Every structure is written in C-alpha cells, then in structure tokens.
Amino acid sequence: MKTVETIAGYREIRSQLYEPIGFVPTMGYLHEGHLSLVKRAREENRTVVVSIFVNPTQFGPDEDLKNYPRDKQRDLYMLESYTDIVFLPSAEEFYTSGYNSWVDIEGITDVLEGARRPGHFRGVATVCTKLFNIVQPTRAYFAQKDAQQLLVIKKMVRELNMPLEIVACPTIREQDGLAMSSRNTYLNQEQRQAAKVLYKALKLSEELYSDGERDANTIRRRMTELIEAEPLAEIDYVSVANAESLQELDKISDKALVSLAVNIGRTRLIDNVVLG
C-alpha cells in the first residue's frame, strides 16, 4: 500500500495503475461501513484507491470541522490489506486562496439534509468532482446510509457525463441496528442506548408497509410517536419521500425512501430504508 499526499504525486503514478480502478472517497476515522465499500472495490477491480480528506467545504459554519474525529495511523492500518493507494490531499492544495469553482446540483438538494445544511451538497459535489478528476476511477463506491448524497452523486455523474460508474452499497449496522457512522463515537453510553430508536422507527415503517399500510402520513406519525417516547431523542425530520425525486409523499405507490435525522444530545444521526 502506497500513500500519496499531493495531486502531482498521484498524477505521476496514475498511468502505471492497472484498470479497472475502484475508488472509495472517505473523510477518515474509518469503521466497518467504510471497510465494506473498500472490500467491495477490492472484489470488483484490479486497483483500489481510497482517499482520506476531511472536506472543509461541506461543513456549515455551526458544524464542528475542527473537532471532526481523525486517526490517520489507525485508518492506514485498517486499509492495509485491501488498498493499493491511499490519497491524502491537503485542504491548502484543494482550495487554494481565491478558490471559486463550485458544482451545484439543483432540485434534490433543496430538501432533507440539503434544507438543514445549506451548502453541504455543493461542498460534497465539488470535492467529489475534484477527486474523480484526479483519481480517474472506473467505479466509485458510496453507502446507501447517506441516501441523499448517493442520489446527488449519481445525478451529477449522469448529468455531467462523468466517465465512471457509481456503485451503491448497503448500510452496515451494529448488532442492535444502529447504522455505523464516525459520529457514533460522540455518544456516551446512555445516548448510545437511546440511538437505537432510529432503527426501531425504520423497522416500524417496514412492518407497517408489509402489513399493507400505504398512507405516508400514518407511517410518519407512527415513527414520530415512537421516537418521541425516547427522552434523549429530538427529531429533526421524519420523511417518507419518492426515492428518486425526494418529494414528500401522501400515498406510497412506488419506491419510497423513509429517512430520518434525530439529535441524540448534541449528535445528529441520520439513517434510512427503502420501501417497495
């Protein structure tokens, strides 16, 4: 495994890499969820490239960029067995002084995470464009856990004719159902127990749906009641939306994305399932 810290350094070795190239963009502090993407990339490609970059432009002014968890040595150790190249660019090189070029994907970024975190998806789309331009992968791997991010990236690649395939990978969960996330490390023991309520609410939506419920308002209401019964949980949103357009539904007739954002203490957790 080789580490590369500059764009020029990566460009120097790019022509020597065997194709197809599988790419996993990350912000580090890796967990089993990231590793599942890296392992899938390993199975499907001759070269695996992973980037670790805590992208400042996707954090809002009130979001804690400085305290985002980081552990480079541990990340490199975890990647060692599956990865050929780890790309670790610097913010200074990615966003030079006077930087002014942005990628804005409209429509599906106005709702859910995009509505609560203005500028977030502009930062994500911009950094992914830069990473795709530099790494030049055959395929890039993204988790269903960040469902809206996945849709934004797919739309961007399709509409801007980027020459790569986006591979969606299932959410990896702890034994009790909590979706793996670097943010879980912020939870104390009591909050960690309370965080189980996210998956319980999503399971409830699946049960209601398989019992024949198609009224989206009923599903939202039942999920909301369940979460409100957990004293440490504070709902940001509970959504039942069309899985492509992300518009809220009254009736479920096609695929629906059930997603939620819940604050447990000061930690904001998101999760989702797809119905139908």
Which residues here bind ligand PAF, judged by CB under 6 A? 25-27, 55, 58, 124, 127-128, 146, 149
Whole-number Å distance between alpha carbons of 208 and 187: 29
Structure tokens at 20: 């197809």
Q: Which residues contact 50 (CB under 8 A, 6 or more apart)?
A: 23, 24, 25, 26, 38, 79, 83, 85, 86, 87
Q: What is the dihedral of CA 173, 176, 182, 183, to 10 degrees?
A: 130
Q: How far is the CB of 1 from ligand PAF (least distance, A)?
A: 19
* CB-nearer residue toward ligand PAF: 128 or 227: 128
By beta-carbon proximity to ligand PAF, the closer residue of 26 and 205 is 26
* Closest distance of CB 213 from ligand PAF, Å: 32
Give yes or no: 31 in active site.
no
Per the listing, tokens 């968890």 go with 69
Residues, the chain: 276
**Shortest separation between residue 53's beta carbon and ligand PAF, angstroms:** 6
Nearer to ligand PAF, 30 or 201 (CB): 30
CB of 151 to ligand PAF, least distance (A): 13
* Minimum CB distance to ligand PAF smaller for 109 or for 149: 149
Active-site annotation holder among 4, 21, 25, 34: 34
Cα-to-chain-centroid distance, residue 44 = 21
- Record the tokens describing residue 244, joined without a space: 């492509």
8 A C-beta contact, residue 178 and residue 62: no
The residues that are catalytic are 34
